[in-house]
Amino acid sequence: MTDYPRNIHAIEDRLRAAGIVFDRLEDVPPKVVREVNRRDFPDMRSIELPAKDIRNSLLQPLLRDLLVTRIGYHSRGAGHYIPRPEGSLDHVMIHCVDGEGWLRIADRETLIHPGQMFCLPAGVPHWYGSDAENPWSIYWIHFTGRHAAEYCRWLGIRAEDPVIHLSQREELLAAFEETWQCLRAVHTYDNLVRGSIGLIRFLGVVQRTMHAPEVHQRAVDRQIQETIDFVSRNPAAELSLTELTQLTQLSVSRYTLAFRRATGCSPMEYFNRLRMQRACEMLRTTGESVQDIGLKVGYNDPYYFSRAFKKIIGVSPNAYRKK
Protein backbone atom coordinates (compact mmCIF):
# COMPACT_ATOMS: atom_id res chain seq x y z
CA MET A 1 0.00 0.00 0.00
CA THR A 2 1.51 3.31 -1.00
CA ASP A 3 -0.45 5.29 1.59
CA TYR A 4 -2.82 4.44 4.37
CA PRO A 5 -6.62 4.27 4.58
CA ARG A 6 -8.50 6.86 6.58
CA ASN A 7 -8.80 4.73 9.72
CA ILE A 8 -5.16 3.66 9.94
CA HIS A 9 -4.82 4.66 13.59
CA ALA A 10 -7.95 2.75 14.65
CA ILE A 11 -6.61 -0.36 12.89
CA GLU A 12 -3.15 -0.02 14.43
CA ASP A 13 -4.54 0.59 17.93
CA ARG A 14 -6.76 -2.49 17.72
CA LEU A 15 -3.90 -4.74 16.61
CA ARG A 16 -1.50 -3.41 19.25
CA ALA A 17 -4.18 -3.85 21.93
CA ALA A 18 -4.30 -7.50 20.86
CA GLY A 19 -0.56 -7.79 21.59
CA ILE A 20 0.74 -7.57 18.01
CA VAL A 21 4.12 -5.82 17.75
CA PHE A 22 4.93 -4.08 14.46
CA ASP A 23 6.44 -0.92 12.98
CA ARG A 24 4.30 -0.68 9.84
CA LEU A 25 0.78 -1.97 9.29
CA GLU A 26 1.77 -3.74 6.08
CA ASP A 27 4.31 -5.79 8.07
CA VAL A 28 1.52 -7.60 9.93
CA PRO A 29 0.81 -10.94 8.19
CA PRO A 30 -2.77 -11.17 6.82
CA LYS A 31 -3.30 -14.41 8.76
CA VAL A 32 -2.55 -12.60 12.04
CA VAL A 33 -4.99 -9.80 11.16
CA ARG A 34 -7.75 -12.32 10.45
CA GLU A 35 -7.18 -14.06 13.80
CA VAL A 36 -7.49 -10.73 15.64
CA ASN A 37 -10.67 -9.97 13.71
CA ARG A 38 -12.23 -13.20 14.90
CA ARG A 39 -11.48 -12.35 18.54
CA ASP A 40 -12.47 -8.68 18.38
CA PHE A 41 -15.94 -8.95 16.81
CA PRO A 42 -18.07 -11.09 19.15
CA ASP A 43 -21.19 -10.87 16.99
CA MET A 44 -19.35 -12.14 13.91
CA ARG A 45 -20.99 -15.08 12.19
CA SER A 46 -18.41 -16.84 10.07
CA ILE A 47 -18.20 -20.23 8.37
CA GLU A 48 -15.11 -21.30 6.46
CA LEU A 49 -14.71 -24.66 4.74
CA PRO A 50 -11.46 -26.40 5.73
CA ALA A 51 -8.94 -26.73 2.90
CA LYS A 52 -9.40 -30.51 2.86
CA ASP A 53 -13.18 -30.16 2.41
CA ILE A 54 -12.64 -27.68 -0.43
CA ARG A 55 -10.25 -30.03 -2.24
CA ASN A 56 -12.59 -33.00 -1.86
CA SER A 57 -15.68 -31.00 -2.85
CA LEU A 58 -14.09 -29.76 -6.07
CA LEU A 59 -13.77 -33.39 -7.15
CA GLN A 60 -17.52 -33.97 -6.73
CA PRO A 61 -20.26 -33.58 -9.38
CA LEU A 62 -22.12 -30.27 -9.10
CA LEU A 63 -19.76 -28.91 -6.46
CA ARG A 64 -16.81 -28.81 -8.84
CA ASP A 65 -18.60 -26.11 -10.84
CA LEU A 66 -19.54 -23.75 -8.00
CA LEU A 67 -18.69 -24.02 -4.32
CA VAL A 68 -19.21 -21.64 -1.39
CA THR A 69 -15.93 -21.59 0.56
CA ARG A 70 -16.64 -18.87 3.13
CA ILE A 71 -19.69 -16.95 4.32
CA GLY A 72 -20.35 -14.56 7.19
CA TYR A 73 -21.60 -11.34 8.72
CA HIS A 74 -20.59 -8.81 11.35
CA SER A 75 -22.06 -5.49 12.51
CA ARG A 76 -20.47 -2.12 13.29
CA GLY A 77 -16.92 -3.46 12.99
CA ALA A 78 -14.82 -0.53 14.21
CA GLY A 79 -11.23 -1.06 13.10
CA HIS A 80 -12.16 -3.99 10.84
CA TYR A 81 -9.39 -4.51 8.31
CA ILE A 82 -8.59 -7.22 5.74
CA PRO A 83 -5.28 -7.14 3.82
CA ARG A 84 -4.80 -9.45 0.83
CA PRO A 85 -1.64 -8.22 -0.92
CA GLU A 86 -1.59 -11.36 -3.09
CA GLY A 87 -5.34 -11.47 -3.66
CA SER A 88 -7.73 -14.24 -2.62
CA LEU A 89 -7.71 -17.83 -3.84
CA ASP A 90 -11.46 -17.57 -4.35
CA HIS A 91 -13.88 -14.89 -5.57
CA VAL A 92 -15.06 -12.39 -2.93
CA MET A 93 -18.36 -10.51 -2.57
CA ILE A 94 -18.82 -7.98 0.27
CA HIS A 95 -22.21 -6.31 0.79
CA CYS A 96 -22.39 -3.22 3.04
CA VAL A 97 -25.78 -2.81 4.72
CA ASP A 98 -24.95 -0.11 7.26
CA GLY A 99 -22.18 2.35 8.06
CA GLU A 100 -19.28 2.95 5.70
CA GLY A 101 -15.98 1.41 4.71
CA TRP A 102 -13.28 1.58 2.08
CA LEU A 103 -11.77 -0.63 -0.60
CA ARG A 104 -8.28 -0.29 -2.01
CA ILE A 105 -7.09 -1.87 -5.26
CA ALA A 106 -3.63 -0.89 -6.50
CA ASP A 107 -3.38 2.84 -5.69
CA ARG A 108 -7.09 3.58 -5.87
CA GLU A 109 -9.20 3.86 -2.73
CA THR A 110 -13.02 3.81 -2.98
CA LEU A 111 -15.49 4.63 -0.21
CA ILE A 112 -18.22 2.04 0.31
CA HIS A 113 -21.73 3.10 1.39
CA PRO A 114 -24.86 1.19 2.51
CA GLY A 115 -26.55 -0.64 -0.35
CA GLN A 116 -23.27 -1.11 -2.20
CA MET A 117 -21.43 -4.34 -2.89
CA PHE A 118 -17.94 -4.88 -4.18
CA CYS A 119 -16.95 -8.02 -6.02
CA LEU A 120 -13.34 -9.10 -6.38
CA PRO A 121 -12.20 -11.83 -8.78
CA ALA A 122 -9.66 -14.30 -7.45
CA GLY A 123 -6.03 -13.24 -7.55
CA VAL A 124 -6.60 -9.46 -7.44
CA PRO A 125 -4.52 -7.81 -4.64
CA HIS A 126 -6.79 -5.74 -2.40
CA TRP A 127 -7.27 -4.22 1.04
CA TYR A 128 -10.53 -3.18 2.68
CA GLY A 129 -11.78 -2.04 6.04
CA SER A 130 -14.35 -0.20 8.09
CA ASP A 131 -14.63 3.56 8.47
CA ALA A 132 -13.37 4.69 11.89
CA GLU A 133 -16.23 7.07 12.72
CA ASN A 134 -19.12 5.21 11.08
CA PRO A 135 -18.09 1.52 11.02
CA TRP A 136 -19.82 -0.72 8.56
CA SER A 137 -21.96 -3.83 8.89
CA ILE A 138 -21.23 -6.31 6.10
CA TYR A 139 -22.17 -9.67 4.67
CA TRP A 140 -19.63 -11.67 2.71
CA ILE A 141 -19.56 -14.72 0.46
CA HIS A 142 -16.47 -16.35 -1.07
CA PHE A 143 -16.79 -18.95 -3.81
CA THR A 144 -14.74 -20.99 -6.26
CA GLY A 145 -15.19 -23.70 -8.91
CA ARG A 146 -14.88 -24.23 -12.64
CA HIS A 147 -17.73 -21.82 -13.41
CA ALA A 148 -16.99 -19.24 -10.71
CA ALA A 149 -15.14 -16.88 -13.07
CA GLU A 150 -17.98 -17.19 -15.60
CA TYR A 151 -20.49 -16.04 -12.98
CA CYS A 152 -18.27 -13.03 -12.28
CA ARG A 153 -18.19 -12.20 -15.99
CA TRP A 154 -21.96 -12.68 -16.19
CA LEU A 155 -22.36 -10.05 -13.48
CA GLY A 156 -19.96 -7.74 -15.33
CA ILE A 157 -17.49 -7.76 -12.42
CA ARG A 158 -14.11 -6.23 -13.21
CA ALA A 159 -11.24 -5.53 -10.85
CA GLU A 160 -10.98 -1.94 -12.12
CA ASP A 161 -14.70 -1.31 -11.47
CA PRO A 162 -15.73 -3.63 -8.60
CA VAL A 163 -18.48 -1.61 -6.87
CA ILE A 164 -22.15 -2.17 -7.71
CA HIS A 165 -25.33 -0.60 -6.29
CA LEU A 166 -28.15 -2.84 -5.08
CA SER A 167 -31.73 -2.04 -4.11
CA GLN A 168 -33.47 -5.37 -3.39
CA ARG A 169 -32.08 -5.67 0.12
CA GLU A 170 -34.76 -7.96 1.59
CA GLU A 171 -34.60 -10.49 -1.24
CA LEU A 172 -30.81 -10.36 -1.28
CA LEU A 173 -30.50 -11.00 2.45
CA ALA A 174 -33.07 -13.80 2.24
CA ALA A 175 -30.89 -15.51 -0.37
CA PHE A 176 -27.86 -14.98 1.85
CA GLU A 177 -29.62 -16.54 4.86
CA GLU A 178 -30.68 -19.52 2.78
CA THR A 179 -27.05 -20.10 1.79
CA TRP A 180 -25.87 -19.52 5.36
CA GLN A 181 -28.21 -22.15 6.79
CA CYS A 182 -26.93 -24.74 4.30
CA LEU A 183 -23.29 -24.05 5.21
CA ARG A 184 -24.12 -23.96 8.91
CA ALA A 185 -25.26 -27.57 8.78
CA VAL A 186 -22.83 -30.51 8.67
CA HIS A 187 -20.80 -30.24 5.47
CA THR A 188 -22.23 -33.25 3.70
CA TYR A 189 -22.37 -33.40 -0.09
CA ASP A 190 -26.12 -32.66 -0.07
CA ASN A 191 -25.81 -29.62 2.21
CA LEU A 192 -22.93 -28.17 0.19
CA VAL A 193 -24.92 -28.63 -3.02
CA ARG A 194 -27.83 -26.79 -1.40
CA GLY A 195 -25.37 -24.04 -0.47
CA SER A 196 -24.28 -23.79 -4.11
CA ILE A 197 -27.90 -23.52 -5.20
CA GLY A 198 -28.43 -20.78 -2.60
CA LEU A 199 -25.41 -18.94 -3.99
CA ILE A 200 -26.84 -19.16 -7.52
CA ARG A 201 -30.07 -17.61 -6.24
CA PHE A 202 -28.02 -14.89 -4.49
CA LEU A 203 -26.10 -14.13 -7.70
CA GLY A 204 -29.37 -14.05 -9.63
CA VAL A 205 -30.83 -11.42 -7.29
CA VAL A 206 -27.64 -9.36 -7.66
CA GLN A 207 -27.78 -9.55 -11.46
CA ARG A 208 -31.48 -8.70 -11.67
CA THR A 209 -31.07 -5.75 -9.31
CA MET A 210 -28.09 -4.41 -11.25
CA HIS A 211 -30.08 -4.35 -14.48
CA ALA A 212 -33.47 -3.29 -13.13
CA PRO A 213 -35.13 -0.26 -14.83
CA GLU A 214 -34.80 1.84 -11.68
CA VAL A 215 -30.99 1.52 -11.61
CA HIS A 216 -30.56 5.22 -12.48
CA GLN A 217 -32.47 6.11 -9.31
CA ARG A 218 -30.13 4.35 -6.93
CA ALA A 219 -27.70 7.22 -6.51
CA VAL A 220 -30.62 9.57 -5.80
CA ASP A 221 -32.17 7.08 -3.36
CA ARG A 222 -28.86 6.81 -1.53
CA GLN A 223 -28.69 10.60 -1.18
CA ILE A 224 -32.23 10.63 0.20
CA GLN A 225 -31.30 7.89 2.67
CA GLU A 226 -28.22 9.84 3.77
CA THR A 227 -30.39 12.80 4.81
CA ILE A 228 -32.78 10.46 6.64
CA ASP A 229 -29.84 8.87 8.45
CA PHE A 230 -28.47 12.30 9.34
CA VAL A 231 -31.74 13.44 10.93
CA SER A 232 -32.08 10.07 12.69
CA ARG A 233 -28.69 10.63 14.29
CA ASN A 234 -29.34 14.33 14.95
CA PRO A 235 -33.07 14.71 15.75
CA ALA A 236 -32.52 18.08 17.49
CA ALA A 237 -30.84 19.65 14.45
CA GLU A 238 -32.82 22.59 13.07
CA LEU A 239 -32.48 22.24 9.31
CA SER A 240 -34.46 23.99 6.61
CA LEU A 241 -35.30 22.22 3.37
CA THR A 242 -32.52 24.17 1.65
CA GLU A 243 -30.01 23.07 4.29
CA LEU A 244 -31.12 19.46 3.93
CA THR A 245 -30.55 19.51 0.20
CA GLN A 246 -27.04 20.81 0.81
CA LEU A 247 -26.30 17.35 2.19
CA THR A 248 -27.00 16.02 -1.32
CA GLN A 249 -26.24 17.09 -4.87
CA LEU A 250 -29.92 17.72 -5.65
CA SER A 251 -31.92 20.90 -6.12
CA VAL A 252 -34.74 21.62 -3.67
CA SER A 253 -37.41 20.70 -6.22
CA ARG A 254 -35.72 17.47 -7.31
CA TYR A 255 -34.97 16.51 -3.73
CA THR A 256 -38.61 17.06 -2.72
CA LEU A 257 -39.94 15.00 -5.64
CA ALA A 258 -37.43 12.20 -5.09
CA PHE A 259 -38.11 12.18 -1.36
CA ARG A 260 -41.88 11.89 -1.87
CA ARG A 261 -41.33 9.08 -4.39
CA ALA A 262 -39.12 7.20 -1.93
CA THR A 263 -41.19 7.69 1.25
CA GLY A 264 -44.69 8.70 0.21
CA CYS A 265 -44.63 12.05 2.01
CA SER A 266 -42.82 15.38 2.02
CA PRO A 267 -39.42 15.77 3.72
CA MET A 268 -40.70 17.98 6.53
CA GLU A 269 -43.67 15.72 7.23
CA TYR A 270 -41.38 12.68 7.32
CA PHE A 271 -38.81 14.29 9.61
CA ASN A 272 -41.49 15.62 11.98
CA ARG A 273 -42.87 12.09 12.25
CA LEU A 274 -39.37 10.71 12.77
CA ARG A 275 -38.75 13.17 15.62
CA MET A 276 -42.04 12.24 17.25
CA GLN A 277 -41.17 8.55 17.02
CA ARG A 278 -37.92 9.30 18.83
CA ALA A 279 -39.93 11.24 21.43
CA CYS A 280 -42.27 8.26 21.86
CA GLU A 281 -39.29 5.98 22.48
CA MET A 282 -37.95 8.30 25.19
CA LEU A 283 -41.38 8.68 26.80
CA ARG A 284 -41.68 4.89 26.99
CA THR A 285 -38.15 4.06 28.10
CA THR A 286 -36.86 7.01 30.17
CA GLY A 287 -38.00 9.14 33.09
CA GLU A 288 -36.92 12.39 31.45
CA SER A 289 -39.31 15.33 31.56
CA VAL A 290 -41.46 16.18 28.57
CA GLN A 291 -39.58 19.46 28.24
CA ASP A 292 -36.18 17.72 28.08
CA ILE A 293 -37.45 15.19 25.56
CA GLY A 294 -38.82 18.03 23.43
CA LEU A 295 -35.39 19.69 23.45
CA LYS A 296 -33.74 16.44 22.37
CA VAL A 297 -35.95 16.23 19.28
CA GLY A 298 -35.59 19.88 18.31
CA TYR A 299 -38.43 21.71 20.08
CA ASN A 300 -37.31 24.55 22.36
CA ASP A 301 -40.88 25.49 23.32
CA PRO A 302 -42.52 22.71 25.41
CA TYR A 303 -46.03 23.94 24.55
CA TYR A 304 -45.31 23.88 20.82
CA PHE A 305 -43.78 20.41 21.25
CA SER A 306 -46.91 19.16 23.02
CA ARG A 307 -49.19 20.56 20.28
CA ALA A 308 -47.03 19.08 17.52
CA PHE A 309 -46.85 15.74 19.34
CA LYS A 310 -50.63 15.53 19.75
CA LYS A 311 -51.20 16.50 16.11
CA ILE A 312 -49.05 13.58 14.89
CA ILE A 313 -49.49 10.93 17.62
CA GLY A 314 -53.08 11.77 18.57
CA VAL A 315 -52.57 12.34 22.31
CA SER A 316 -50.41 14.67 24.41
CA PRO A 317 -46.96 13.54 25.58
CA ASN A 318 -48.18 13.13 29.18
CA ALA A 319 -51.19 11.10 28.06
CA TYR A 320 -48.96 8.94 25.88
CA ARG A 321 -46.62 8.24 28.78
CA LYS A 322 -49.49 7.31 31.12
CA LYS A 323 -51.05 5.08 28.49
What does the alpha-carbon distance between residue 300 and residue 251 come to, in Å, rounded to a whole number?
A: 29
pTM (global) more than 0.75: no
Contact (Cβ atoms closer than 8 angstroms) between residue 92 and residue 119: yes
Pair 44, 94 in one domain: yes
Tell me, yes or no, whether 192 lies in a domain: yes
One domain for residues 48 and 174 = yes
What pLDDT score does 83 carry?
86
User: Is the pLDDT at 297 greater than 50, yes or no?
Assistant: yes
Q: Are residues 73 and 119 in the same domain?
A: yes
CATH assignment of the domain containing 124: 2.60.120.280
Residues 207 and 243 in one domain: no
pLDDT of residue 25 exceeding 80, the answer is no
Query: For the chain, how many structural domains are there in total?
Result: 2
Q: Supply the CATH number for residue 276's domain.
A: 1.10.10.60
Give the pLDDT score at 212: 60
Q: How high does pLDDT run on average in the chain? A: 85
158 and 262, same domain (yes or no) = no
Last residue of a domain, one of 176, 211, 246: 211
Q: Is the pLDDT confidence value at 11 over 60?
A: yes
- The residue range of the domain holding 285 is 217-322
- Tens digit of each residue's pLDDT (9 = 90 or more) over 79-130: 788 888 889 999 999 999 988 898 989 878 888 988 899 999 999 999 998 8
pLDDT digits over 44-56, tens only? Answer: 788 999 999 999 9
Domain boundary among 189, 211, 233: 211
pLDDT digits (tens, 9 = 90+) for 210-266: 766 554 566 777 788 888 888 888 888 888 888 888 888 778 888 888 888 778 888
Q: Is the pLDDT of residue 203 over 90?
A: yes
Beta-carbon contacts of residue 96 (< 8 Å; ≥ 6 apart) = 112, 113, 114, 115, 116, 117, 136, 137, 138
How many other CB atoms are found less than 10 A from the CB of residue 224? 24
Q: Which of 154, 189, 211 is the last residue of a domain?
A: 211
